[in-house]
Chains A and B, each alone.
Chain A
Amino acid sequence: MTTVLDKLRSGREAVGERWHHAPRWVRWVLLAALIVFFYALPNKEFYQYLGPIPTPGANFTQVLFTISIYVLLAVGLNIVVGFAGLLDLGYFGFFAVGAYTVAVLTSPSSDIKTLWPWLLVVPIAIGLTMVSGVMLGTPTLRLRGDYLALVTLGFAEMIRIAATSSTFLKGQRGFNQIPHPPGEYADGKPFFGVLDARPYYWLVLTLIILVVIGVRNLTHSRVGRAWISIREDEDAAQLMGVPTFKFKLWAFAAGAAIAGLAGALFAGKQNFVNSQNFELLNSIIILAAVIFGGSGNIVGAIVGGGLVAYMIERFRGIELFGIELYEYRFLFFGLVLVVMMIFRPQGLIPNRRRAAEFKDRRKEVIVGE
């Protein structure tokens, strides 16, 4: 049993090694192929050849859009949890702030009736989300440890309750007729319509690529070093001249901004936003996705976010012994996580540092025997 697992493990690690040692052009070609694949994916002409991958019980293109939103969220949360090591249990709250900002400022059902176009509101949504991140972070990031987890949890609940019961935020009735992103074809038909989810998916995919480039720039700089040093030893980081509070706040703000962007995209696609979209469970799912993929690694977060969202949707429409599997999706999800934590606690695609650490631990255990 263990030998099989070991083989599997070393096999996967070998892939990682090969990637890191492959010539630059090989990596670029593979990366380009992967990107082309994901742009082509929502086309039926393409995905019908992919066997069991498309979801039977749901429009695959719609599912892809949902997945892409989760990926974006996982990339953002990974900055906070994976790099800076701050436990944020209410990340979805920022997503809600982004979505509601768009809803309030664009929808005709809003009390203030500004009816601004979607594109104008996106930067406002991102900005407001960042501000809410800073407001939440300023009092709490000075404290250590579990306070942050509690406060962020409270924040997400607060947003949800406000959405449910404040008349301004319309509760269950929600906001409708939220405008779509702009743009039309030559024949005057809007590019971002109601039925076809592909353009939205492509938009999010493009933004994911841009965000990933940005996050990579940050993590490969003084900023990323500061974040990791805080995660590793906050006291030592301070004594080596890292303004830890400032960089924790930046991690928080950057993560929030990405969630705000995701919320704005969601609202622009959905056309309708109400209080049911923002259950606490979503925060937990994204956190699980980051850890599942390999916290502290951008690729890990992407894969984690993608796989977790996909797994949940994949159960839709499957019946086994008369039981609708979708009803039990979170049970399976939980099981997968438990199995995962037993056999691969560092996540699917761990940060190379993490991988080394867990390898060493295994060695220690073996020596200990």
Chain B
Amino acid sequence: MSDTEQTPAVPAQAGAPAVETVARREPLLEVDHVTLRFGGVVALNDVDFTLYKGEILGLIGPNGAGKTTCFNAMTGIYQPTEGQIRFRGQKISGKKRHHITKMGMARTFQNIRLFPEMTALENVQVGADAHHKTSVVAALLRLPRHWKEEREGREKAERLLEFVGIRHRMHEFARNLSYGEQRRLEIARALATDPVLLCLDEPAAGFNPAEKEELLQLIRQIRDTGVTVLLIEHDMRLVMGVTDRIVVLEFGKKIAEGLPVEVRDNPKVIAAYLGVPDDAA
């Protein structure tokens, strides 16, 4: 996969070869003509795109475009009204949420949803527990499997906290962490479930430019470990800098898809973003 990696700082001067390599890639997530209605509101309207293994795909669009709804449909919170979503070739709808997580999909939340009265470490351990098999009886009697998984989970959690840069805060309750630390903790918790696909819902919201740059760095590192990333973001520049491809939603419809440069110059996208108060300028 490394041969197809682009240096995001120099966004695809030669578009054609990149498209070719993408085509060779294995589809990981297929959003297949998905429509999702809430009563009269059509939150997703025939949305159709594919996410390939190893890429960073940006999902952008103005407020209320349906980006978060798309995430929610992918993670089993909402069922599509029409169409279907396939992850690693399997249909998502009807699957239990924790099962989808076990299949390798993990996410963060636009409005942070940690376990506030658990420590940072425990938050990440919950994620690591997703693949643990210690039964209630084994935990009650402290059988060897309990000790083994407990040690592994703890080591993994500490490693991930180190990776996102908040290991020194691991015994602090999540609620006492700063806003930025909480966002990082969410990423660590999601990574602890060993995802194949990591979905980040506006992970840089409320960050200053320096913090955003650090976060970009982190996202690239995550991708380099072999995790595919789906990134919702408002900040156009941020998306340009880090994504391999971009899908643009507006009013629940996909209005563009392609390489960052293509999308940036697409008149429909420019129109959608014109006058929209965001940090894109």
Residues of A within 8 A of B (CB): 214, 217-218, 221-223, 225-226, 228-229, 232-233, 235-244, 250, 254, 351, 353-354, 356-357, 360
Residues of B near A356 (CB, < 8 A) are: 117, 173, 175-176
* Residue pair B136, A241 in contact (C-beta under 8 Å): no
Chain B residues numbered 142-169 whose CB sits less than 8 Å from any CB in chain A:
142, 146, 149-150, 153
- CA A238 to CA B113, docked complex, whole Å: 12
B184 to chain A, nearest CB (A): 16
Candidates A214, A217, A218, A226; contact of B126 at CB < 8 Å = A226
- Across-interface contacts of A241 in B (CB, < 8 A): 98, 101-102, 127, 129-131, 193
- Please list the residues of chain B having a beta carbon within 8 angstroms of any beta carbon in chain A: 75, 77, 96-98, 101-102, 106-107, 109, 113-118, 122, 125-127, 129-132, 134, 136, 139-142, 146, 149-150, 153, 173, 175-176, 189-190, 193
Q: Is the CB of B117 within 8 A of A232?
A: yes
Total of A-B residue pairs, C-beta within 8 Å:
102
A202, chain B: closest CB distance, angstroms:
24
Q: Which residues of B contact A218 (CB under 8 A)?
A: 136, 139-140
CB neighbours of A214 from chain B (8 A): 140
Given the complex, which residues of A lie within 8 Å of B77, measured CB to CB?
A: 235, 239
| 26 A-B contact pairs sorted by A residue (CB < 8 Å) | A217-B140, A221-B139, A221-B150, A222-B134, A222-B153, A225-B118, A226-B126, A226-B129, A228-B117, A228-B122, A229-B118, A229-B126, A233-B113, A236-B113, A239-B98, A240-B101, A240-B106, A240-B130, A240-B193, A241-B127, A241-B129, A241-B131, A242-B129, A250-B136, A354-B117, A357-B116
Q: How near does chain A come to B101, taking the closest CB pair, in angstroms?
A: 4
CB distance from B115 to the nearest CB of A (A): 4
Chain A nearest Cβ from B188, distance in angstroms: 11
Q: A242 with B140: in contact, given A221-B146, A233-B115, A237-B115 (CB under 8 Å)?
A: no
Complex contact A229–B115 (CB within 8 A): yes
Inside 8 A of B189's CB, which chain A residues have their CB?
A: 240
Query: Which of A217, A226, A239, A250 makes the CB contact (< 8 A) with B97?
Result: A239
